[in-house]
Amino acid sequence: MTTTMPHRHRRWPAVTLMIIGAALVIIWSFRTYIIFLNAPGDTFLVPHALVTLVSLIAAVLLIRIGRRAYRAQPLATDTRWLAAIGLWFLGVGANRFVLVTTQPSHDPDPRAHLHLAVSFLVLGLLLLIAAWHWKQQRR
């Protein structure tokens, strides 16, 4: 049984998605700048650029999903995209977490990167939960 929320409370998840997406666009745009600034000495330029590009696309998709949800026109595929983005950020966070914990000597600031890894893990988990909740509401 689903309960109906007042109209003003239906929009806060959509606004939250748009804010998270906008913040991630800013973060990943800055990361793109840093990658190309350090490009001549980076032996892993292609994987770093690929992860950054996919993460930037995921952030833009979060904004688009939030806009559609705000206008009360969500698509059925939005839950799949939301779950896929959540899985992507879980993977990015898990990879960063493993690298920071297993090779702290290779990292210039392991504490900050550990916090970043945990933040990506939490973000991915929250996006997966949001996708699951959204799917349950649509039934």
Q: Are residues 19 and 36 in the same domain?
A: yes
Same-domain status, 44 and 85: no
Range of the domain at 56: 8-74
Buried b (16+ CB within 10 A) or exposed e, 53-86: eebbebbebbbebbbebbeeebeeebbebbbbbb
Highest mean pLDDT among 13-17, 43-47, 66-70, 99-103: 99-103
pTM (predicted TM-score): 0.84
Q: Kindly state whether residues 25 and 67 are assigned to the same domain.
A: yes
Domain boundary among 19, 47, 74: 74
74, 95, 115 - which closes a domain: 74
Same-domain status, 53 and 88 = no
- Helix-then-strand count for the chain, H and E: 5, 0
Give me the sign of the Cα torsion angle 124, 44, 63, 119.
positive
C-alpha distances in angstroms, 117 versus 16, 109, 124? 21, 12, 11
pLDDT tens digits for 57-98?
999 999 999 998 888 877 778 889 999 999 999 999 999 999
Most confident of the following: 17-26, 33-42, 71-80, 130-139: 17-26
3 has pLDDT over 80: no
Same domain membership, residue 53 and residue 105 = no
Tally of structural domains, the chain:
2
Which pLDDT score, from 0 to 100, does residue 77 have? 81
Assess if residue 3 is contained within a domain. Answer: no
Answer whether residue 1 is part of any domain.
no
pLDDT digits (tens, 9 = 90+) for 15-27: 999 999 999 999 9
One domain for residues 67 and 85: no
What pLDDT does 134 receive?
A: 82
The last residue of a domain, from among 25, 50, 74: 74
